[in-house]
Structure 1
Amino acid sequence: MAGVASHPIERPLSEKEESMSQMKPIEYADAAPEVKAVYDDIKEKRGVPDVNNFWKFIAQHPPTLARTWDSIKDVMAPGALDPLVKELLYVAVSVTNNCGYCVASHTAAARRAGMTDEMFGELIAVVGMANETNRLAVGYRVPVDPAFE
């Protein structure tokens, strides 16, 4: 969308600047063998016919694609935190980081893992409250209480 600033303080990008900064997705048919191998693993592990746009765009740099997929598999694997909790955390961080793609992707994953509308509303309320109180603590330079150390 030409003319939309990526940050509220920045000037809008011209159409030329936007087209210069817009990477193209790497589709399976056009992918190098090492990229196809990661795509195949993603499709197999997730039981999907194609990979999401996120993977197609980071495939511009195959080492980043492979490293990120390996890390995701490790971090998001079953563990002490159940899959829903992990997805809720991902949504919370994504909201705070203002990553619309990540919010959409992980909200969908959280819903598949059992998140309800009520849970989503409460999660967003907690995210908003945490952001507000964090900024107040930073702004006032509040020292950490000894009981918290």
Structure 2
Amino acid sequence: MATVPLISDDAASAEVLAVFDDIRTTRDTDFINNFWRALANDPVLLAATWDRLKVAMGPGTLDPLVKEMIYIAVSTANGCEYCVHSHTAAASAKGMTSDQHGELLSVIGMAMQTNGLVTGLQVPVDDAFRKVHT
């Protein structure tokens, strides 16, 4: 159960409806998910989050499917059930196969295991890994 009301279109302010309309247009859907409906309790936060998400998940050098798979990995690490489900659905809609999903979960599991080991062992970072990305 949400800790705030999920704002329906009928209860939404003009400011919120403008964001909902942009979500519908950008995503080519009539569906506004519960995340956006919960954020609609704070129209400024709703608009700011949507604007940042459009940039991060919009066209760029990373393939849209790769972006969704990264979102799944981070959501898994952060324990966000909602985000794991919503971005798995989005990745599937963008063509993620069952084999790719299984491989992604394998990588996530391995990263979580090795992250735990290296953190517990406090392994110093190799100088070769400290190079600045250019």
TM-score, normalised to structure 2, is 0.93
Corresponding residue of 1:46: 27
Distance (whole Å) between structure 2 residues aligned to residue 144 and residue 39 of structure 1: 45
Q: Secondary structure at the match of 2:10?
A: helix
- The answer for unaligned runs of 5 or more in structure 1 is 2-20
Q: After the TM superposition, which segments of 4 or more aligned residues of structure 1 sit over 2 Å from their partners? A: none
State the Cα distance separating 1:113 from its structure 2 match: 0.9
Question: In the alignment, which residue of structure 2 is the partner of 1:23?
Answer: 4
**Structure 2 residue 55 is matched with structure 1 residue 74:** yes
In the superposition, the TM-score normalised over structure 1's length comes to: 0.84
Identify the residue that residue 131 of structure 1 maps to in structure 2.
Answer: 112
Aligned to 1:65: 46
Look up the equivalent residue of 2:33 and give its one-letter code.
Answer: N
CA distance, structure 1, for counterparts of residue 3 and residue 19 of structure 2: 23
1:6: which partner in 2?
Answer: none
Deviation of the 1:98 alpha carbon: 1.1
How many Å separate the matches in 2 of 1:67 and 1:42?
13
Q: Distance in 1 between matches of 2:58 and 2:32?
A: 18
State the number of aligned residues: 130
> Match for 2:63: what amino acid?
D
Aligned to 2:100: 119
Q: Which amino acid aligns with 1:108?
A: A
Identity of aligned residues (%): 52
Q: Alpha-carbon deviation of 1:65?
A: 0.3
Instruction: Say whether residues 1:92 and 2:84 are aligned partners.
Output: no
Equivalent residue in structure 2 for 1:144, among 114, 125, 134: 125
Q: Please, what is the CA RMSD of the aligned residues?
A: 1.1
Q: Gapped runs of 5+ residues in structure 2?
A: none
1:85-119 CA-to-partner distances (Å, cap 9, x unmatched) read 00000011111111111011000110111100010
Give the CA deviation at 1:50. Answer: 2.9
| 1:47 shift after superposition | 1.2
Task: Give the Cα–Cα distance (whole angstroms) in 2 for the partners of residues 36 and 122 of structure 1.
Answer: 39
The structural deviation recorded for 1:22 is 2.3
Q: Matched residues in 2 for 1:102 and 1:50: separation?
A: 16
Measure, in 2, the Cα distance between the counterparts of 1:75 and 1:22.
27
Of 85, 88, 111, 1:104 maps to 85
Greater relative contact order (CA < 8 Å, ≥ 6 in sequence): 2
